[in-house]
Amino acid sequence: MAEQPYKAVLLFGAPGVGKGTQGKILGVIPGFHHVSTGEIFRALDKNSELGKRVMSFSSHGELVPNDITLQVWAEHMASQVDAGKYRLDKDILLLDGLPRNIEQANLLDGYIDPMRVIHLAASDEDAMVERLRRRAIKEKRADDANENLIRRRWDIYRAETQPVLDHYPSDIITEIDAIGTPAEVLQRILHDLVPMLSEQFGNAFDTTEAATKL
């Protein structure tokens, strides 16, 4: 458990809606630090015991068990703090891919101070499935290109992840239309987040640091 809760913005949405894309874009803005659970898992050594355990679930379209997920994520965050890449007093964590169910949300309560929940919503499942399939082929991730596995992830999302929204106060949740170009979706997100960022930090950014990050 973190000694001091991480101030966080949670990026929610079904597979393919663009959480990772938007998280990466927002992550270059001074004051934000993007962390993708999926990227943490993919960076694991697949030949290690932990890597093999994670792959045994993800390769079948199943969610990684909560205890393993929290262990991997917490260790990653501790390393980010130790390396000075995430600063408790200056950065807001953009958390992408966590929590995915109520148990994870309960476990995360000891780690994060949620400031905003951005719910990227898309009604066209077929379009999102095709987007994921094309991305997996482009990135040479054959397992992720299987349509049945992609739709299985959507089923899991509907059953387990959407109810997590009820865990958080409704006044910090904003639903964003995920259909459109990345720039259009980004504009909608910033419309909600910029006032929060300004209130949190005002003009207190280090301009040298900002230029380096951008």
In this structure, what token pair is assigned to residue 190? Answer: 């910033």
pLDDT digits (tens, 9 = 90+) for 105-141: 999 998 999 999 999 987 766 777 777 777 777 776 6
In this structure, what token pair is assigned to residue 118? Answer: 């951005």
Question: Across the chain, what does the average pLDDT equal?
Answer: 83
Given strand 6-13, what is the order of strands in its sheet? 32-36, 92-96, 6-13, 112-121, 173-177
d(CA 52, CA 65): 13
Measured CA to CA in angstroms, residue 178 lies from 11, 27, 118, 193 at distances of: 12, 18, 11, 16
DSSP result, 52-96? HHHHHHHTTTPPPPHHHHHHHHHHHHHHHHHTTSS-TTT-EEEEE
d(CA 192, CA 141): 34
Average pLDDT over residues 85-100: 90
pLDDT digits (tens, 9 = 90+) for 1-31: 667 899 999 999 887 788 889 999 999 998 8
In this structure, what token pair is assigned to residue 80? Answer: 């980010």
- In terms of Cα–Cα distance, which of 13, 14, 18, 12 is closest to 151? 14
Domains, the chain, with CATH or none: 6-203 (3.40.50.300)
Q: Is the pLDDT of residue 143 over 70?
A: no
Neighbours of 131 (CB within 10 A): 17
Confidence of residue 202 (pLDDT cuts 50, 70, 90): low
- In terms of Cα–Cα distance, which of 72, 75, 76 is closest to 54? 72
This prediction has a pTM of 0.78
